Amino acid sequence: MGYYEVEFEPVGRRGKCRDDESVLDCAHRLGVGIVSLCGGRGKFHCCKIQIIKGSVSKPTKSEIEFFSSEELKDGYRLACQTYLKSNCKIKVPLESLTTPQRLQLEGLEIGVKLNPPVKSCDVKLSPPSMVDLRGDDERIMDDLNHQFNLSCRKFDIDVLKNMSSLLRSSRWEARVFVRDNEVVSISSKHSSGLGLAVDLGTTKIAGYLLDLDSGKTLSSSGVMNPQISYGEDIVSRITYAMESPAKKKKLQEVVVNTLNSLTADLCRRANVEKERIVEAVIVGNTVMHHLLLDLPVDQLAVSPFVPAVQNSLDVKSRDIGLNIAPGAYIHLLPNIAGFVGADHVAMLLATERIWKDDDLVIALDIGTNTEVSLIDNGDITSVSCASGPAFEGAHIKDGMRATNGAIERLQLIGDEVKYQTIGKVPPVGLCGSGILDAIAQLYLAGVISRDGKMNDHPRIRFHNNQKEFVLVDEKENGSPAITITQKDVREIQLAKGAIRSGIDVLLQERGHFEQEIKKVIIAGAFGSYINVASAVSIGMLPPLPLNRFQQVGNAAGIGAKLALLSIEERFKAEAIAHRASYIELAASPDFEKIFLRATYLG
């Protein structure tokens, strides 16, 4: 038994590969998520890879049948059929990756030049005496300003409450955290200041705890947005909030409580105290942003839908009740419009290096609300699409969140349904990417027509007065059948129609054709897990070569991290927001026609 060095591209994962394990097994062992529907039998051709450098085993019969000789010459192979014969560099095409998003922007925040808004300064003071009666504030300020060349003039009131006893118990040595000209925290230990980055989504909340000295992410965690109980989408949340000030306040309370437990969880995972968090950045769409701050949302319910707050904002953590260092600020990135918020700005910030040098780019963040931007020579035009929560699994009969047991990949081979579940456990439902694959496969197989109508098929049955396609039947694993109903198809048509019409309106308004698009950047958890080929098949995304699509994961979260680590990134975010103009979809003269067309499959 021998070992070879292997490197997977564009992931950048390196490791050793045994000569008796398939590339697929090696990839899984090294944490590179390659799709595998047949369990390594070479049957479904879903684990396509490309050998860039090095030599491997000869193509098997299954590979020779599947690939053209041209493709084989170019090094295309199936990972489950291939064994290394030397050190190799292997490219994994996007469509073969299960979790491409983790790989595109991961670590981007480490690359940023660290210049966090909060600086840590170590002071060592002479204690007061009868000949040096300066107050504690003056004593620290003098030292700070002389030693670090600052012009610090202010202390947060909560810092002052603990400072005097801290100085006396720590023998007049302390680490002082300074933001602009204000001391926002003080510690007797020399441990680094921490930052909290939050992507506050309509449905999900993702939190990251960062070390501001190293830029490293110490822990990350996700929870559901508890506001869901008061309305699934932003419009129903606005409606609820408008019923009374108390109800609006309630929406703030539940989300702040959840942020507090999320923060506690992040700190527990990293084994640190929450008081060490000296700055937070929270990004969300405009409605999430406003509800978090208990700002009015009434004006978001009527045309022209302008935000109460558009510019970036710094709010003391205590003013919204976030339990971090009491003097810490929460920075909120600017909003572009009433329905294109700071999360989209964060996403554009995180992906700037991807779009800035290209002529025509579409950047979209798919979620319960989907924001789409067309970037045309630096000009940014944005729309907001009410795509709804179907892709989060809601309103879909067997839909579920992307957790263990969810079908995440699915293929129809003849009349046989092959699928892969998260956690490789028996299936219990479909998550967004599985639903998308299912609709695409049924459409491609002709089981669903362009208008979404289900045709006859051996797996089609009537159940509860409605047609449904059985993906997994009752007998298969002794649990209820997993099906796609006619109603599910309609839901997906509306959702994908909302997204596609957003893209189409942008192109029309700016006078472009879809073939001019050089790149489509897809952000958001769902968008990053999907099989782009499926999304193109059903016409959710425009019919472009697959290599023009880039799935970038939770780019909004990455943008929040960047804004946490660098003042320059905040300036960049401001610039992006100022360059962006907003188009109201409903105000576009052809919108209804475009939307109707976009609901058709294909």
Give 493-516 as a 3 state SS string: HHHHHHHHHHHHHHHHHHCCCHHH
Nearer to a second copy, 134 or 171 (CB): 134
**Cβ distance 415 to 447 under 8 Å?**
no
**Cβ distance 583 to 336 under 8 Å?**
no
* Contact pattern from residue 487 through residue 526 relative to a second copy, giving x for each residue in contact according to CB under 8 A and a dash for the rest: ----------------------------------------
Instruction: Candidates 74, 173, 213, 298: give the one binding a second copy (CB under 8 A).
Output: 298
161 binds a second copy (CB under 8 A): yes
The DSSP bridge partners found for residue 206 are 199, 222
CA distance 355 to 338: 24
**Cβ distance 187 to 325 under 8 Å?**
no
171 binds a second copy (CB under 8 A): no
Collapsing DSSP to helix, strand or coil, 380 comes out as strand
φ, ψ for residue 40, nearest 5 deg: 90, 20
CA nearest neighbour of 136 among 145, 126, 146 = 126
141 binds a second copy (CB under 8 A): yes
| DSSP single-letter state for residue 408 | E
CB of 145 to a second copy, least distance (A): 12
* Contact pattern from residue 24 through residue 63 relative to a second copy, giving x for each residue in contact according to CB under 8 A and a dash for the rest: ----------------------------------------
319 binds a second copy (CB under 8 A): yes
Q: Which stretch binds a second copy (CB under 8 A): 134-142, 210-218, 231-239, 344-352?
A: 134-142
Instruction: Candidates 20, 587, 592, 593: give the one binding a second copy (CB under 8 A).
Output: 587
Nearer to a second copy, 79 or 583 (CB): 583
Q: Is the dihedral of CA 140, 143, 145, 147 positive or negative?
A: negative
224 binds a second copy (CB under 8 A): no
**Cβ distance 208 to 346 under 8 Å?**
no
Total interface residues for a second copy by CB under 8 A = 48
CA distance 378 to 376: 5
Instruction: Candidates 21, 71, 106, 137: give the one binding a second copy (CB under 8 A).
Output: 137
Instruction: Candidates 238, 293, 328, 364: give the one binding a second copy (CB under 8 A).
Output: 293
Q: Which stretch binds a second copy (CB under 8 A): 58-66, 301-309, 484-492, 504-512?
A: 301-309
314 binds a second copy (CB under 8 A): yes
CA distance 540 to 198: 28
CB of 126 to a second copy, least distance (A): 12
The DSSP bridge partners found for residue 296 are none
Instruction: Candidates 157, 264, 425, 596: give the one binding a second copy (CB under 8 A).
Output: 157
Q: Would strands 379-385 and 370-376 be described as parallel, antiparallel, or unpaired?
A: antiparallel
Give whole-number Cα distances, 548 to 76, 93, 515, 561, 581, in Å: 19, 12, 11, 26, 24
Nearer to a second copy, 155 or 595 (CB): 155
**Footprint of a second copy (CB under 8 A):** 128-130, 133-138, 141, 154-155, 157, 160-165, 168, 293-296, 298-299, 303-311, 313-316, 318-320, 335, 337-338, 582, 584, 587
